[in-house]
Structure 1
Amino acid sequence: MASRTEGTPVWTDAMFTDVEGAKAFYADVLGWTFGESASEFGNYTQAYKNGKAVAAVVPPMPGQDGEPQSAWCLYFASPDVETTAEKVKAAGGTLLMEPMQVGDFGSMALARDPAGVVFGLWQGGAHEGFELEGEPGSYAWAEVFTRDTGASDAFFGTVFDYGTKKIKDEHMDYRLFDVGAEPVLGRMEMSGEDFPPEIPSYIQIYFAVDNCDKAVEAAERAGGRKVFGPMDSPFGRFAAIVDPQGAAFAVIDSKTTVGDMPEME
């Protein structure tokens, strides 16, 4: 697999107090199977779809204060984590975890943008990232949901040298971040009643599914909660869900599209 261009989404994982519960939930909703936990790496456990790595789950680190909020973290490809980490700091971001080597798998760092959006950096080694994308049960898309669009736009554009395009829509502020000509990330302004003040800026990860409505039903049967949708769009039928441990994500059936693609400016 060719190495991914800097700024391209490359991996996702989430921390769960009840790892076995998380495994059961995502097996029901996304059809994941799970490998053996890696005890030398904090019982990090990879999830697979059709035998290909799509995500990972991990318990809290020993000694961590309080009960952490479960959340999916998106990692962006970096050719050199140390260099990208310096770009994060120079652009006004904060490093939550300094660059570190993870065996022969690669190197990582965790960071936060000036608006509070948490994300990761991944410099692939033996583990290059997603082995499956855009297929049911795997990563499909992600969007930065931010309360400070100016700060997030400037930050991500600077760190990853993104090009940007804005959707022509007077009712919402939505941008696409591009690597070359390829859109790799969306950005949505958090405003209105859909985003109460206690919800921080974050990255919403979309997993592909065969049928959005059935995925929502499976999530609710397994103890999850529907937040939004299912809704039709030109990009697919999608819905936002919170799992039983509070981790937010979305599902999308990209084959079921309604309406014309929006104009860009």
Structure 2
Amino acid sequence: MNVQAEGMPCWVDAMFTDVEGAKSFYGDVLGWTFAEASSEYGGYTQAYRGGKAVAAVVPPMPGQEGQSAWCLYLASPNAAAAAERISANGGEVMMGPMQVGDFGTMVIAKDPGGVVFGVWQGGVHKGFEKIGETGAFAWAEVYTRAPEKSDAFFPAVFPYKVKRMEDEKIDFKILNLGDDAVLGRMKMTDDFPAEVPPYINVYFAVDDCDAAIAKATARGATVHFGPMDSPFGRFAALSDPQGAAFSVIDMGTAKGDMPKLTDES
């Protein structure tokens, strides 16, 4: 796999107190299989769909126990330089830059509104081995209560061009690399409970949204929104039994007209 363009979503992982439970849940809902846990890297366990790497799960490090959450990593050819831009633009570098063997270099950071994300400079591990296929990462959106902060921050750190969706009902923008939409930005409304922190909502592709929801809820997941048809596919937002938020989308059942977009940069 070639090195991803700077700012391209390139990997996702999540910490789970019950790693075996997470493996069982996502194995059933998304058809993942798992490698052996790496004791050298804190039990980091890579997930596969059809033999291709799609994500990873890991137990929390001592002192980091808490709410499970998916972390999206954005590619960079120079993680140290990205970390400097993060700090210079009001973000917070929480961890790193840290070299992970010969796999690559990672940074964990927050934007000025509190959205946690990662930066990954690939070594032998470039990131996703498939995207947009069943069981793999499909899309992601920054959910924030401080959209003006996220809107200034992300294009300053990464080479994004911003487009605004012309819809009075929602405050939504799309971040492009060249002509390709790679990330969304959604303003969190009062519909989100106050205790829900800002986050990046990760979408995984499925063949049948309703069937995936049925499997997930049977395993203890909670549906927060949907299923709903859209021009991008039928989707739903859930949280898994350990509280990690994610979405599923069947991109083969897109309905409706694509929204109009206005350039902002």
Q: TM-score, normalised by structure 2?
A: 0.98
Give the one of 117, 125, 128 matched to 1:127: 125
- 1:95 maps to 93
- 1:250 maps to 247
Q: CA deviation at 1:197?
A: 1.4
- 2:233 maps to 236
- 1:207 maps to 204
Per-residue CA deviation, residues 230-250 of structure 1 (Å, 9 max, x unaligned), is 000010000011100000000
Per-residue CA deviation, residues 35-60 of structure 1 (Å, 9 max, x unaligned), is 01110000100000000000000001
SS of equivalent residue, structure 2 residue 252: coil
Equivalent position amino acid for 1:204 in 2: N
- 2:213 maps to 216
- 2:56 maps to 56
Uncovered stretches (5+) of structure 1, i.e. residues with no partner: none
Extract structure 1 runs of 4+ deviating beyond 4 A.
Answer: none
- 1:43 maps to 43
**1:18 has 2:18 as partner:** yes
Per-residue CA deviation, residues 169-194 of structure 1 (Å, 9 max, x unaligned), is 0111110001111110000011132x
Equivalent position amino acid for 1:64 in 2: G
Alignment of 1:180-191 (within 5 A): 180-191=178-189
CA distance in 2, matches of 1:246, 1:50: 26
- 2:67 maps to 69
Equivalent position amino acid for 1:17 in 2: T
CA distance in 1, matches of 2:187, 2:60: 30
Q: CA deviation at 1:98?
A: 1.8
SS of equivalent residue, structure 1 residue 218: helix
CA distance in 1, matches of 2:113, 2:254: 32
SS of equivalent residue, structure 1 residue 172: coil
CA distance in 1, matches of 2:8, 2:96: 20
SS of equivalent residue, structure 2 residue 253: coil
- 1:154 maps to 152
Aligned residue-pair number: 262
Q: TM-score, normalised by structure 1?
A: 0.98
Give the one of 74, 83, 86 matched to 1:85: 83
SS of equivalent residue, structure 1 residue 216: helix
- Residue identity over aligned pairs, in percent, reads 61
Uncovered stretches (5+) of structure 2, i.e. residues with no partner: none
Per-residue CA deviation, residues 91-122 of structure 1 (Å, 9 max, x unaligned), is 10001102011001000010000000000000
- 2:32 maps to 32
- 1:197 maps to 194
CA distance in 2, matches of 1:179, 1:26: 30
SS of equivalent residue, structure 1 residue 235: coil
CA distance in 1, matches of 2:109, 2:55: 19
CA distance in 2, matches of 1:264, 1:192: 25
Equivalent position amino acid for 2:196 in 1: I
RMSD over aligned CA atoms reads: 0.7
Per-residue CA deviation, residues 118-170 of structure 1 (Å, 9 max, x unaligned), is 00000001100000110010000000001011100100010002100011101
- 1:259 maps to 256
